Amino acid sequence: MTLLEQWRSEAYNENADRNKLQALWSEYFQEEKEVYKKLLANPDEKVKGSVKELAEKYGLTLLHMVAFLDGINDSLVKPNPIEEMDEDTVVSLEFDKELLYKNMVAAQADWLYGLEEWKSIFDEDKLKALYKEQKASSTIKKEAKVYPNDPCPCGSGKKYKKCCGKNA
């Protein structure tokens, strides 16, 4: 069983005691927040190391480091091989700042996208723009329905039913 499979079987175990699972996630989210504070304090540093080395560096258990790598992977400049990594696999934490912020917004992780450290990376207007951009990208927009007596959207000036709607 890979490290990622071990983490997922522990964290998403439907047969586990609910209180234990809640405690696991609560502990993990607090640890995750602390790691992000450190990463965002120096956002241009290219952090690299084995999974085990990074776990030790950030004070995480091996499985919590794997969980962190799983969570940040979509925001990295070059994704890590999380599916098959072991404790000696060298991974990178070089992240795209804008993408990371948007992914935190998409995950509704306000404890992460609300970190003070973001304010030293982006100004308030940029943070608002990234937030709005992410929210808009997940909004489903329905096109306005064209009714038979409406003007044709092709711009001919005819009614839709007499123009493009003929063949519909």
Place 10 in a pLDDT band, splitting at 50, 70 and 90.
very high
Please give the mean pLDDT across all residues of the chain.
93
Over residues 77-104, the pLDDT tens digits come to 999 999 999 999 999 999 999 999 999 9
Neighbours of 104 (CB within 10 A): 24
- For residue 138, is pLDDT > 80? no
Element (H, E) at 90: strand 90-92
Place 168 in a pLDDT band, splitting at 50, 70 and 90.
low
Q: How many CA atoms lie within 13 Å of 116's alpha carbon, on the beta-carbon side? A: 2
